Amino acid sequence: MNDLDLRIIDTTDNTVYYPWKLNATSPMTAATKADNTVDNVEQVVIDNPTPGRNYRIEITNKGILKNNQGMNAPQNYSILVSGYTQQVLATSETSALNGLTIAPTITKDIVNILKAPKKSTYSVYELSGKKLKTATVNSDRESVDLSTYVKGIYIIEIKTDKETVSKKIIKE
């Protein structure tokens, strides 16, 4: 739906590895490695990875994420990693949203946002992307009342000034 940007960064020397990119105006031209604004699937290949190094996968976007109706909405994506032989593929340890938890994920009325940074914001969305509520996190345990919403699946998006996390909630 949106133009997500995939990069892999070598955390030792800050080398940035870009995805393959096709030339939309010249389909017979060989693909190059650059910012891919054309394809809905991006592939980054590190031709000669250095053993023992840490590599960071970054997924960002330009501007504001929109849904089919042009409304602000979260964007789902998937990551497939191959050729990785360690036991753990970890998320960033420096994230302000690292300890964040939404509980319970199945509820009839209240869910709690736990350990979100104060002054971050949260929004509740229908699966269609319609934003139902936005508020500021004021404590380590922020309660969100879903009792007036119909049964279904909702997305709670938590934002800081640097990052965004989306979690799925089921309302019974």
Domain boundary pick from 93, 121, 150:
93
Domain boundary pick from 50, 66, 93:
93
Q: How confident is the model at residue 96 (pLDDT cuts 50, 70, 90)?
A: low
Element (H, E) at 110: strand 110-114
Which residues 6+ apart lie within 8 Å of 169 measured at CB? 102, 105, 106, 107, 111, 146, 153, 154, 155, 156
Higher-scoring residue by pLDDT: 78, 31: 31
Tell me: do 48 and 108 sit in the same domain: no
Tell me: do 35 and 85 sit in the same domain: yes
pLDDT at 89: 53
Higher-scoring residue by pLDDT: 107, 66: 107
Tell me: do 78 and 23 sit in the same domain: yes
Share of the chain above pLDDT 70, in %: 91
Tell me: do 83 and 119 sit in the same domain: no
Alpha-carbon distance of 111 to 143, in angstroms, equals 6
Domain hosting residue 159, numbered range: 101-171
Question: Is the pLDDT score of 36 beyond 80?
Answer: yes
Alpha-carbon distance of 45 to 47, in angstroms, equals 6
How open is the CA angle 26-34-90, to the nearest 5 degrees? 135
Question: Is the pLDDT score of 85 beyond 70?
Answer: no
Alpha-carbon distance of 18 to 9, in angstroms, equals 9
Tell me: do 24 and 86 sit in the same domain: yes
pLDDT digits (tens, 9 = 90+) for 109-160: 999 998 888 889 999 998 878 899 999 999 989 999 999 999 998 989 898 8
pLDDT at 97: 65
Tell me: do 72 and 141 sit in the same domain: no
Against a cut of 0.85, is the pTM above it?
A: no
Q: Tell me how many domains the chain contains.
A: 2
